[in-house]
Amino acid sequence: MNTIRAIELIEEQLHFINQTKLPLEEEILVSDDYERIAIAIERLEIRGAPAIGVAAAYALALSLKNIRKERWSEVFKKALQRLASTRPTAVNLFFALNEMQNVYDQFKEADDLYARLYKKAICIHNDDIILCDKIASNGLNIFTKKVRVLTHCNAGALATGGDGTALNVIRKAFENGFVEHVYTDETRPLLQGSRLTAWELQKYGIPFSINTDSTAAFLMQQKKVDLVIVGADRIAINGDAANKIGTYNLAVICHYHKVPFYVAAPTTTIDKKCLNGDEIKIELRDKKELTWFGSKQITLDYFPAYCPAFDVTPNALITAIITEKGIYKPPFDFLHV
């Protein structure tokens, strides 16, 4: 099968797929400027909680590239604050930035600080690749027969430093003969499902079809969906999980139709300072994501609009959470994970 890498570090330059152009154009952007990488995260050229964390780690390391030692403190602090301001919901971002700051604090007087930060960013990336593989291997245990799977948004290689979380579980299951068909919600308003997940599934040769978000209930009513797997951007220690807007709707209709609802994410997505979903900060996006469709205006700009990027699925609606450490079922208690 094809290998997709959304982010790669090549000769001290970050190479990343511009996900806003997919699937119509496969554009690779290259930068070693932390500000440009921060903008890429905000624009969703780089997206997905693990991928954001990896990209931010590289950006923070690269912020000190060719910087004189007497300016390290000033530049590092500025870069850290800028990157932390990009996407508030994805906990992996703050995990990665914290890991990088620990290295900075420990070696800020060392002449090889840049090399140490660079090495740490690579380590964070490599760790994510390993986590993705372990999540997929553990996820294989939820399958006992060939099934039809539905997924929402994109939790594949495009969303991580490796091969993905939820979509990697699906890929692994397909390779082992357990997946007959994948339904991918288009995922309004930015269509990550119809643009990104469909692009990955086509690359992997996995049978799929795109449907509107509001079609999912009808598919379940027709008994065409055997289980649902999604990713997560932040998980509270009680198992409440924030994911792309529309995920909560999906969990509710799964509960009604008695369809298993799984979340797949690395344990770095678990926020141990967050007791429950009420404490998860939900990012609000520009209303133009609703009033415009790409470059085409579809309604009046002055119409009020509410555009949260994520919602929170209560733990009671989650069948299990698949991580690199294992599969966790209710009651969830991730305080010591």
Give per-residue pLDDT as tens, 187-225. Answer: 999 999 999 999 999 999 999 999 999 999 999 999 999
Domain membership of residue 333 (yes or no) is: no
Domain membership of residue 293 (yes or no) is: yes
Claim to verify: residue 268 and residue 252 sit in the same structural domain: yes
Claim to verify: residue 153 and residue 97 sit in the same structural domain: no
Domain membership of residue 2 (yes or no) is: no
- Cα(27)–Cα(43) distance, integer angstroms: 15
Claim to verify: residue 145 and residue 128 sit in the same structural domain: no
Claim to verify: residue 115 and residue 148 sit in the same structural domain: no
Among 133, 161, 177, residue at a domain's last position: 133
Helix (H, G, I), strand (E, B) or coil at 87: coil
Domain membership of residue 335 (yes or no) is: no
Claim to verify: residue 149 and residue 126 sit in the same structural domain: no
Claim to verify: residue 157 and residue 97 sit in the same structural domain: no
Domain membership of residue 336 (yes or no) is: no
List the CATH number of the domain containing 19. 1.20.120.420
Domain membership of residue 232 (yes or no) is: yes
Identify the pLDDT of residue 2: 76
What secondary structure does DSSP assign to 46-64, as a single string? S-SHHHHHHHHHHHHHHTT
Q: What is the pTM of this model?
A: 0.95
Claim to verify: residue 76 and residue 158 sit in the same structural domain: no
Claim to verify: residue 184 and residue 323 sit in the same structural domain: yes
Among 83, 111, 133, residue at a domain's last position: 133
Identify the pLDDT of residue 294: 84
Claim to verify: residue 115 and residue 152 sit in the same structural domain: no
Instruction: Please identify every stretch of the chain with a pLDDT value under 70, giving residue numbers as ranges.
Output: 1
Domain membership of residue 334 (yes or no) is: no
Domain membership of residue 238 (yes or no) is: yes
List the CATH number of the domain containing 159. 3.40.50.10470
Give Cα separations from 56 to 44, 52, 262 (angstroms): 13, 6, 28
Claim to verify: residue 255 and residue 280 sit in the same structural domain: yes
Among 81, 109, 133, residue at a domain's last position: 133
Task: Provide the domain limits for residue 255.
Answer: 137-328
Provide the domain count of the chain: 2
Phi, psi torsion values for 234, nearest 5 degrees: -160, 135
Claim to verify: residue 99 and residue 51 sit in the same structural domain: yes
Identify the pLDDT of residue 335: 87
What residues act catalytically?
233
Identify the pLDDT of residue 100: 98
Identify the pLDDT of residue 336: 87
What secondary structure does DSSP assign to 122-175, as a single string? HHHHHHHHHHHHHHHHHHGGG-SS-EEEEE-S--BGGGSSSSBSHHHHHHHHHH
Q: Residue holding tokens 């079809």?
A: 209
Claim to verify: residue 103 and residue 152 sit in the same structural domain: no
CB count in 10 Å sphere of residue 210: 18
Handedness of CA 247, 152, 329, 143 (dihedral sign): positive
What secondary structure does DSSP assign to 310-335, as a single string? EEEE-GGG-SEEEETTEEE-SSP--T
